[in-house]
Structure 1
């Protein structure tokens, strides 16, 4: 990708989600980059770390994830991070604090409190859905409600809800950790500096959870590249993994091109 890249990818999911929720996106990404190494890590309080208590700041979540990356020896070469939503905030903070760790980053449907108001970062239209989700009395019903909130495709809802219900049954996310992650995201204000590395924003124009204008605000503030999907929702990799992989491939090829001589 660039001269520092080791072609090592690290994927970070968002609020109350874990590595298992990447689904078909992982093998598609690996197929597109067969020589690359692709890793996933869970945020504290989710996945393999579901019994831990999540910090309630993005910086502390990032430090915890980075320590896990160090422990698993993932930082021997600079990483290209893909962060979805809350994972994007963690990726941005990591890139600011430890630029030697990261050679590039892709942020999917992310947002920042310093750039967008709370009613755009969590759209007011989605508030009733949260109450409906909390009222569900089974993992399947709850995950089905989540899917119908974060994705716009309807052809695989029940199939994916069954998979996600199994994840929740095996590695349940505690409500207190969801609340702590929400608190961290709501207060995230990274300041005026931009990470000194290639960055790309991917956004779904059909996002009913976080307004697409939040990605536009990040693009405008720092003059970043933004690719917008015409209809996908918040979980862009669930709605259209092929589209995400294609744009990541185009981005990688663009970064691999020698700079123009002027």
Structure 2
């Protein structure tokens, strides 16, 4: 199964986000892996599934996403998953429960309740802004506030906020589903067993939403590969997509060298 790493990608976003929020990263990943297939799926309650009710447990979210993947035939070759934050938790659970379907995963700024305290998993400094933006009625102002919370580049805030406001207007995530996803993430305790597949942790040291210490804790517990960006925030692919691609390419190359695949 290791010879499939980097050939069949699945991208999973995080809290209240959908496939559209990957922006240019999907195309950048495709350019970096021109022979690969690139897929995106939405979590229940977001994107094309925004009318659904989000489960309040990661395992149930995983089962729903996995069923959609199977219906589309995506795991015809084992998947290499890129999971951001909540998407990383879904990927972790999927690898534990159905290891034959995922050959490797890169987890971006994710966290596990079993090894990191709640005030690191949602940094206490972000509480006032986080709950204020949830109640913001104007889509543009709301998305602009989200960008300024999850990203540290400021050169395209207005442009991206307009794009994200359009997404929210067309496929709105309800406040109820937002809290359901928060509850699912807060409850997720996968235990002491890590997935057997190769794992890469990517962390933005400038993450103001989830403390980088959460990625550090996962790395320390299971001695996983961790690569840290010096200034990027929670949405690492938005802040520095090229750096993220380089880490993925280097990691896939490493795995190929270990298995003797050119």
Q: Quickly name the TM-score band, shorter chain normalised.
A: over 0.9
Distance in 2 between residues matched to 1:139 and 1:181, nearest whole Å: 20
CA contact (8 A) 1:105 1:199 kept: yes
| Structure 2 residue matching 1:75: 3-state secondary structure | helix
Matched, 1:96 2:64: no
CA contact (8 A) 2:3 2:259 kept: no
Map of 1:240 onto structure 2: 240
Structure 2: where are the runs of 5+ without partners?
none
How far is the alpha carbon of 1:2 from its aligned partner?
A: 2.5
Distance in 1 between residues matched to 2:114 and 2:175, nearest whole Å: 26
Distance in 1 between residues matched to 2:88 and 2:135, nearest whole Å: 29
Structure 1 residue ranges, 4+ long, deviating more than 2 angstroms after superposition = 1-6, 134-137
Map of 2:152 onto structure 1: 152
Alignment deviations for residues 46-88 of structure 1 (CA, whole Å, 9 cap, x no partner): 0000000000000000000000001111111100000000000
| Structure 1 residue matching 2:215: 3-state secondary structure | helix
CA contact (8 A) 1:104 1:199 kept: yes
CA contact (8 A) 2:9 2:80 kept: yes
Distance in 1 between residues matched to 2:259 and 2:47, nearest whole Å: 41
Structure 1: where are the runs of 5+ without partners?
none
CA contact (8 A) 1:202 1:228 kept: yes
Q: What pairs with 1:132-151 in structure 2 (closer than 5 Å)?
A: 132-151=132-151
Aligned residues: 260
Map of 1:213 onto structure 2: 213
CA contact (8 A) 2:46 2:171 kept: yes
Sort the Cα spacing of 1:115 and 1:175 in 2 relative to 1 into closer, same or farther, 3 A: same
| Structure 2 residue matching 1:81: 3-state secondary structure | strand
TM-score, with normalisation over the residues of structure 1?
A: 0.97
How far is the alpha carbon of 1:203 from its aligned partner?
A: 0.2
TM-score, with normalisation over the residues of structure 2?
A: 0.97
Distance in 2 between residues matched to 1:28 and 1:74, nearest whole Å: 20
Distance in 2 between residues matched to 1:192 and 1:136, nearest whole Å: 39
Matched, 1:252 2:255: no
